[in-house]
Amino acid sequence: MKGPLVLVGPMGVGKTTVGKKLAKELDTSFMDTDKIIASEHGPISAVFDRLGESGFREIESSVLTRCLEETGVVATGGGVVTTESNRKALASHSVIYLSTDGKHIASRLSTRNRPLLSSGTDSWESIYASRKALYKEVATHEVDTSGKSLAAIVSEISNLVRDK
């Protein structure tokens, strides 16, 4: 595998869960931009409180840049595509957009650790609608996760990557 395989998509779609399993399947490393940010700067909600969304996005861009220099699977935060420089950086990489119909999102989301979800699933739906075109813009492939098992999603992505 040359360079990273990047997973993008809305909050709660399963980028981290899929990414870990996919990295194992492909026998490569796994990186999670949100986990890296939290380990270096504290909880994301605290970073938002301290620096605001723009400050968080600057840190996120820096972490993404570092991850794109590595080989492995990269799970990104849901808002990584909102920054134009990130979209440009992703353009030269394999990017899988994990899309969803949203039916199971409410059971997956904890609004406690997600600063942008002040009003729960209504916030999620609005945010997803505003970002959907950006996910499609950066994606080399789209994988619809709706109603699929983790194994099926990982298998589909593995097949896409191996066919290259």
The per-residue pLDDT for 72 is 96
Question: What is the identity of the amino acid at 150?
Answer: L
Q: Are 16 and 37 in contact (CB under 8 A)?
A: no
Q: What is the distance between the alpha carbons of residues 123 and 134, in angstroms, rounded to a whole number?
A: 18
Extents of the domains making up the chain = 4-162
The pTM for the full model equals 0.90
Given CATH 3.40.50.300, say whether it is the number of domain 4-162. Answer: yes
* In the predicted structure, residue 101 carries a pLDDT above the cut 90: no
Q: How confident is the model at residue 114 (pLDDT cuts 50, 70, 90)?
A: low
Decide the pairing of beta strands 4-8 and 72-75.
parallel
Whether pLDDT at 76 is above 80 = yes
Contacts of 85 by beta carbon, 8 Å cutoff, 6+ apart: 61
